[in-house]
Amino acid sequence: MAKNWLITGASSGLGRGLAERLLERGDGVVATIRKSGALDDLLTRYRDRLQVTGCDVTDVAAIRETVAQAFERMGRIDVVVSNAAYGLFGAAEELTDTQIERQIATNLTGSIQVIRAAIPYLRNQGGGRIVQVSSEGGQVAYPAFNLYHATKWGIEGFVESVAKEVAAFGIDFLIVEPGPTRTNFGAGLDHATPMSCYDDTPAGEIRRAIATGYFAHFGDARKTVDAMIAAIDSPNPPFRLPLGRSAYDSIREALLGRLKVLESQKDVALSVME
């Protein structure tokens, strides 16, 4: 049975890839974009099943209007995909206040408001699925991606809590955590002005890796989208979906490391009990 989807951040990358694959198989899609004309080719082919609307997720009023119109046009939306995001790179003291505010407003506050706007409509229609596109960076942390990690760790915590609040209404969540994937994410990376004192630090090492275009273990974008769709279509998807070798290995290592630290502190933790 065909489904109806609302996808934010569909101009490029995984958002566009997801929209394209869903349209190919016969589903209906409401896609939000920031760059006008980004989906004109898809509109030409799928005008009867594709609705495209401009929406900046830093504009809360625009989010609410977009979500309301999407449900009104489609009648029912089965899956809401909160995908709009970008990356900010720089050591903490290199970042400007404006860069910090934009990162939080887009990746964290914007995602929160998309989810909040969708919940009443999903509740009233008897349920639905919300997909939050996060990153392996929602479970691990690398130097100089501090604000990006702050937003991804933050949205994952928000989703964990909200999932418990709305499960009784038939609304469930899936957090997608891709590792480095061959999309244009890097082209949209916002760079802070570098400070030379970080040249010989891990932040400097990663800066040089980005400049030379080198990252190991890239995931294939099409395979990543296919894996996302398969999980979303599942009647009982996992709550978290890591995608790619880097995501699996990095998240596993981080979780095992945190568990080891936790176990080592058991006696101290219990010592403060009355």
Q: Which residues are catalytic?
A: 134, 148, 152
Distance CA 61, CA 266 (A): 47
Most distant CA pair in the chain, distance: 68
Q: Report helix, strand or coil for 192.
A: coil
The answer for residues whose C-beta is within 8 angstroms of residue 192's C-beta and 6 or more apart is 88, 89, 90, 91, 94, 95, 96, 99
Give the pairing of strands 190-191 and 88-89: parallel
175 forms beta bridges with: 132, 240
Distance CA 243, CA 219 (A): 8
List C-alpha distances in Å: 155 to 3, 135, 250: 26, 11, 19
Residues in the chain: 274
